[in-house]
A and B are shown apart, each in its own frame.
Chain A
Amino acid sequence: MPSLKALHVLFVFLATIFAMVVGLYALGELAAGAGRAYLMIAVLSLSAAIALVVYGGFYLIKYRDSGWF
Chain B
Amino acid sequence: MPMSKVLPFSLEPNIDENELGNARLGMWLFLISELVLFAALFVLYLQIRGHADEWPRGADYLDIPAGVLSSAMLIVSSITMMLAWNAARERKRRRFQTTLGLTILLGTAYMVIKIWEYQVKLAAGLMPSTNFFLGLYYTTTGVHVFHALCGVLYNAYLWGPGSRLWDKRPVRFANQVELAGLFWHFVDIVWLFLFPMLYLL
Which residues of A approach B to under 8 Å, CB–CB? 1-4, 7-8, 10-11, 14-15, 18-19, 21-22, 25, 29, 37-38, 41, 44-45, 48, 52, 55, 59, 63
Contacts and interface: CB of A to CB of B under 8 A. Distances in A.
B161 interface: no
A8 B178 contact: no
A41 B69 CA distance: 9
Nearest to B85: A4
**Chief secondary structure at chain A's binding surface:** helix
A15 B182 contact: no
B25 A22 contact: no
A50 B74 CA distance: 17
B65 A18 contact: no
B75 A48 contact: yes
Interface in B11-60: 21, 24-25, 28, 59
A19 B189 CA distance: 13
A14 B64 contact: no
Contacts of A44: 68, 72
B109 to A, nearest CB: 17
A55 B75 CA distance: 12
Interface string B149-188: 0000000000000000000000000000010011001101
Nearest to A3: B178
A22 B68 contact: yes
Nearest to B89: A66
Given A1-B24, A48-B72, A8 B65 contact: no
A19 B186 CA distance: 18
A3 B85 CA distance: 11
Interface pairs A-B: 6 shortest CB-CB: A4-B181, A1-B24, A18-B192, A4-B178, A7-B185, A1-B28
